Structure 1
Amino acid sequence: MNCYCGTNKPYESCCEIFHLNGGQTETAEQLMRSRYSAFVLANGDYLMQTHHESTRPTKEKEAIVNWAKSVQWIKLEILETTKDTVEFNAHFSKKGKADCIHENSKFIKENTLWYYLGYAENTY
């Protein structure tokens, strides 16, 4: 089975590596893909760890995990990537109704680690 993030690699050779190494990705897109897989797996610890401390929604962790578990994730579609932004569509279904999150995510690299900073545009 291919990784949840949509690459042609198995999860074990793709996002699991980042889930186990604390998010040590080489690019913002790799971090975005690994965060999508973390949503699929409802891995709240990873989502918090890879969210920049200045915008990290620590108090919302449980709600985020509960929401991630309440939907069926369909696919991740990367639309455009720059050095520190990733525009994507995350397709999911809730109670049989298809939906999509469109986001232009901002990332920041501190020392050697990339972090999710927030979004420039978000459409639900």
Structure 2
Amino acid sequence: MSRRPPAETACPCGSGAPLVACCGRFLEGKADAPDAERLMRSRYSAFVGERGDYLLATWHASRRPPAIDFDTGAKWLGLEVRRHQSTGPDSAEVEFVARWRVGGRAVRLHECSRFVREGGRWYYVDGDQF
């Protein structure tokens, strides 16, 4: 079950734009993320909204898990994209820090994620955590 906030809500990815004008269009299938950074931001928004359908659809088939488990009661605190770089014509890396709180405990994920573009669409492949 997803938690879908109102479209006029600020986008969770931290862009400052309304959800509908930012990641919402990707989450709802109205457009594909134009680059790896936008895909990463939209995937963060999908975690906030518990959109397992979107996360699975944007995970490369070679590494896609069978299902997504969400931290029940997680309060998402923010996303910081530290670096985005092309590593080839159809590949890129995005370094980010995502923060949330669950069960009163602060959690921080610092990762350098790898993405590939196939058939014009970007997919998350995997990442290295710091």
Corresponding letter in the other structure for 2:13: C
DSSP 3-state at the match of 2:69: helix
Is the Cα–Cα contact under 8 Å of residues 108 and 114 in structure 1 kept in the other structure?
yes
Aligned residue among 79, 91, 96 for 1:88: 96
Q: Does 1:112 pair with 2:116?
A: no
Structure with a larger share of its residues in helix: 1
Aligned-residue offset at 1:122: 1.1
1:3 alignment partner in structure 2: 11
Could you tell me the TM-score, scaled by structure 1's length? 0.88
Aligned-residue offset at 1:89: 0.4
Aligned-residue offset at 1:66: 3.0
- Segments of 5+ residues of structure 1 without an aligned counterpart are none
Superposition RMSD in Å? 1.4
Is the Cα–Cα contact under 8 Å of residues 73 and 92 in structure 1 kept in the other structure?
yes
In structure 2, distance between residues paired with 1:23 and 1:106 = 21
- Segments of 5+ residues of structure 2 without an aligned counterpart are 1-8, 87-91
DSSP 3-state at the match of 1:51: coil
Q: Which runs of 4+ in 1 moved over 6 A?
A: none
Aligned length: 117
1:99 alignment partner in structure 2: 107
Seq. identity, % = 39
Q: Deviations over 1:99-122 (max 9, x none)?
A: 201110000000210000001x21
